[in-house]
């Protein structure tokens, strides 16, 4: 069983940057997809970004394209999300997710991921 633990959340002002990390309890080998989702109260988890292995193919939700960057550090078994030019609408609980490699049409749907972290709160407010 793979465990995921997020860190790096906090309270920031609009325009600030923040870096989230997700530590995995074990190396996820083979072909897989790792992703970040965001959730606000009363709403479903919304796709933020994903990265596949091998190939490091990245995908982003429309609202974060050009501002967020997802990366994978295989040596440290860590998934990262660099967030820049943060906006109030980026506020929410950010979850790390992972599982067997998904086809492109499935990466944005939370139901296809096998492993989830406990989430880390990001609040963007002036």
Model pLDDT for residues 60-112, shown as the tens digit of each residue = 999 999 999 999 887 888 999 999 999 999 999 999 999 898 998 999 999 99
Amino acid 77: pLDDT: 85
3-class SS of residue 75: coil
- The closest of 19, 48, 45 to 34, measured between CA atoms, is 48
Whether the per-residue pLDDT at 28 is higher than 90: the answer is no
Whether the per-residue pLDDT at 30 is higher than 80: the answer is no
Amino acid 29: pLDDT: 65
Spell out the alpha helix ranges (H) of 1-126. Answer: none
Amino acid 76: pLDDT: 84
Write down how long the chain is. 126
Amino acid 93: pLDDT: 98
Amino acid 65: pLDDT: 97
Model pLDDT for residues 39-63, shown as the tens digit of each residue = 999 999 999 999 988 778 999 999 9
């Amino acid at each position: 069983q793979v465990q995921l633990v997020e860190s790096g959340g906090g309270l920031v002002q609009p325009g600030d940057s923040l870096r989230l990390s997700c530590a995995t309890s074990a190396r996820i080998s083979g072909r897989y997809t790792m992703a970040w989702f965001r959730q606000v109260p009363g709403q479903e988890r919304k796709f933020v970004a994903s990265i596949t292995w091998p190939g490091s193919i990245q995908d982003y939700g429309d609202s974060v394209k050009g501002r967020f960057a997802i990366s994978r550090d295989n040596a440290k078994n860590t998934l990262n999300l660099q967030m820049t030019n943060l906006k109030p609408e980026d506020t929410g609980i950010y979850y790390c997710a992972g599982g067997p490699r998904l086809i492109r049409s499935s990466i944005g749907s939370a139901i296809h991921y096998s492993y989830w972290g406990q989430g880390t709160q990001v609040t963007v407010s002036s």
